[in-house]
Chain A
Amino acid sequence: MSDVLTADVVIVGSGVAGAMTGYSLARNGVKVLILEAGPRVDRAKAVMQFRSSPTKGPNSPYPTNPMVPQPDDDDIGAYYVQAGPVPFRGLQARVVGGTTWHWGGLTLRYRPNDFVLKSRFGVGVDWPLGYTDLEPWYGEAEEEIGVCGPSDYDWGSPRSKGYPMPPISPSYLDTVIGAACGKVGLSMAPFPHGRNSIGRDSRPPCCGNASCVPICPIGAKYDASVHVAKAESAGARVEPLAIAHEIVVGSDRHVTAIRFKRPDGSVHEARGRIFVIAAHTIETAKLLLMSRPEGSAFGVANSSDQVGRNLLTQLDAGMLGLTKERLYPYRAPVETSGIRELRDGDFRGMHGASGTSPSNEGWSRAIGPFKLAQKFAQQGLRGAALGAAISEHMARELAIGPSVEILPDPNNRVTLAHDRLDPLGLPRPRIYFKFGKYEQDGAKVAMDYVRGLMNALGATDVEEVGPVTDGAVMGGTCRMGTDARTSVVDRNLRTHDHPNMYLVGSAAFPTITASPPTLTIAAFALRAGLQIRTDLNAT
């Protein structure tokens, strides 16, 4: 028998976008229902699963349900149907709390110029709102997430108030790299982080478990399970293993319900007054495209034929080297400092901005000594000599490289693979992706600097990696804009086609930048929450 669930606001997705929106509504008395395709996560069990996983990849700790497939750490073709020409590597976690479970925790704001690429640099598109519109919401988001950061450097994003917590210290590795940066015309500064530097909000301070990706075992690093719990405490209902597959639209263009499946294949319905799709870049587009109300040839909210298009990520390149001096990586959050240069400037008219930061994860993250043990054992090292070689190698490992912004391209897109159904009979996402000269030139410029840095550090065994599409950052597919003919949602994230449906998350981003998107997603979610409350009050 089918369930019919009702709420004022029905939200699809429980990641940072859905959870933050849901909490902002529930705490103001709105009846909220959150549908999440994946299961709940028990942190302690997830840590155990991470330890027993042979791969230790970003999704390795998390419970999976065979009826809710997700990208595989080691097989990017396992869920996405890769149409190429470049493999798309964006990882998403289909669990309660979403992909923030395995984000690195960097909470940079976007810069004012990030919102005006077209008018300022003549490339890409402008956003339909600017930095000053979003600035107060950045502050709100930093309070909600719990951001620690430096008081003396704003990373190019002017601030109206300070960070909620004092900064964490740069790693020892940062100080060595920072000293070398001066020799090649670069400089470094500590990052703001969505992690506790002091006890706050019933969460402990970070103790350097070195496993922000794939899981913080103590919850010092923020993940959206924080706001899922807060939303539930405020009265929201969360339904895990509820796989939304159809948006039902009435004759007046208003959305009336979301249909969802359970893993047993049964179909149920969630009805409400306002609907929020916050299922991240790929799943949001997929849900809109799967829904085909009468009279709609291209899916819901898609009169512009823009749904699924302009898929965004970053272009990653990297360099590995063994420095002359010991750095002692493998001891801190993923990235504690970054290079200030190349993140913004007039050059963006010619090539992409890039964010470059040394990794504290060495060459091989959670399996560093294991990879070396295998390598050196095969070379014949045994006993004490083997241990010494591993220690010496690991202590000198440097991995550093740029993440470059990619311009929107309507041919980089998500479509439905009706010939490759998932176990529930739903089409998997087919992804077309390529990158061009703008981003490749951005990577080249940054890598020239990185090469100089490696030389300044006296590095040996230098190896260049990439460029490849980034595994963590995703956006686009439902871009926001002022023109309903060329965009899917307006500046408030309301769909142009359906007055009571919002798309919250980086899916709505018209461009991606050199900075991670999570804080900006949270800021938009809180802002959308206010707009939705205004809508509810108006009706």
Chain B
Amino acid sequence: MQVAKKFPASAAPDGDRRRLLHGLAALVASGYLPPGVAQPAPANVSAATFAAMSRMIAGYAYDDNLAVRILAALTSAVGAAKLAQIATLAAVVAPGQLGNELKIAGVDDAAAIVVTALYCGVVETTKGPVVITYDRALAWQAVPWTKPNAECGGPINYWATVPKT
């Protein structure tokens, strides 16, 4: 099935997991520890860790520039501690178990906010939605057979046939 080929069961390459673990080592060194352990004030998640986390929980990641902006907005919206907790779990838990572990850790709602923000390029804040990007939102990568609105889809009448993608 086309969709299954496009989205294999384990979408996170090993390299991403390594980068995520590497980033998390820095968090641990700074004093942040996984759930259940008494924690001091958490350090912010780094851009590299955030990108790796994004690939794990969303399947895709932003480039550095957009990642920095969306990370800043999410840190403000969700809180550094929860963001770090989600990143930790994304790094150490097998993809098939991630949803369950996020629930057990009590950060499932926060993870939904993070995933939604990553897909939509919009971060919901107490002051209303903050649009980080539209045409480069990760959701468009999930539907490569179309384009973001207001972006040229192809030559005239391309829409008459089944997309090749």
B150 in contact with A211 (CB, 8 Å): yes
Which residues in chain B, 1-54, are within 8 Å of chain A measured between CB atoms?
Answer: 3-4, 6-12
Residue interface bits A202-226, CB-to-B below 8 A is 1, else 0: 0001111111000101100000000
A387 in contact with B156 (CB, 8 Å): no
B157 in contact with A168 (CB, 8 Å): yes
CB < 8 Å neighbour of B134 from A52, A215, A383: A52
Residue interface bits B120-161, CB-to-A below 8 A is 1, else 0: 101000001101011101011111011111111111111111
B137 in contact with A330 (CB, 8 Å): no
Which residues in chain A, 87-136, are within 8 Å of chain B measured between CB atoms?
Answer: none
B119 in contact with A373 (CB, 8 Å): yes
What residues on A are CB-neighbors of B12 within 8 Å?
383
Q: How many whole Å from B127's CB to the nearest CB in chain A?
A: 12
A383 in contact with B119 (CB, 8 Å): no
A330 in contact with B119 (CB, 8 Å): no
B159 in contact with A209 (CB, 8 Å): no
Give the size category of B's interface with A: 35 or more
A262 to B145 alpha-carbon distance, docked (Å): 47
B119 in contact with A331 (CB, 8 Å): no
Tell whether A370 is near chain B: CB-to-CB under 8 Å: yes
Given A380-B108, A388-B7, does the pair A218, B162 have CB atoms closer than 8 Å?
Answer: no
CB < 8 Å neighbour of B163 from A53, A215, A331, A365: A331
B159 in contact with A387 (CB, 8 Å): no
Given A328-B163, A391-B6, does the pair A370, B119 have CB atoms closer than 8 Å?
Answer: yes
CB < 8 Å neighbour of B149 from A170, A366, A382, A392: A366
A50 to B98 alpha-carbon distance, docked (Å): 36
A373 in contact with B120 (CB, 8 Å): yes
Tell whether A47 is near chain B: CB-to-CB under 8 Å: yes
What residues on B are CB-neighbors of A367 within 8 Å?
120
CB < 8 Å neighbour of A387 from B59, B137, B155: B59
CB < 8 Å neighbour of A383 from B58, B131, B139, B148: B58
Given A52-B131, A53-B131, A383-B56, does the pair A172, B152 have CB atoms closer than 8 Å?
Answer: no
A residues with CB within 8 A of B: 47, 50-54, 56, 168-172, 175, 197, 205-211, 215, 217-218, 326, 328, 330-332, 336, 360, 365-367, 369-370, 372-374, 377-378, 380-388, 390-392, 394-395
User: Considering the complex of A and B, which 7 residue pairs feature the smallest CB-CB distances, nearest first?
Assistant: A373-B119, A332-B159, A387-B142, A369-B139, A384-B11, A208-B153, A169-B160
| 12 pairs, A vs B, C-beta closer than 8 Å | A47-B150, A175-B160, A217-B150, A331-B158, A370-B120, A374-B116, A383-B57, A383-B58, A386-B59, A387-B58, A388-B7, A391-B145
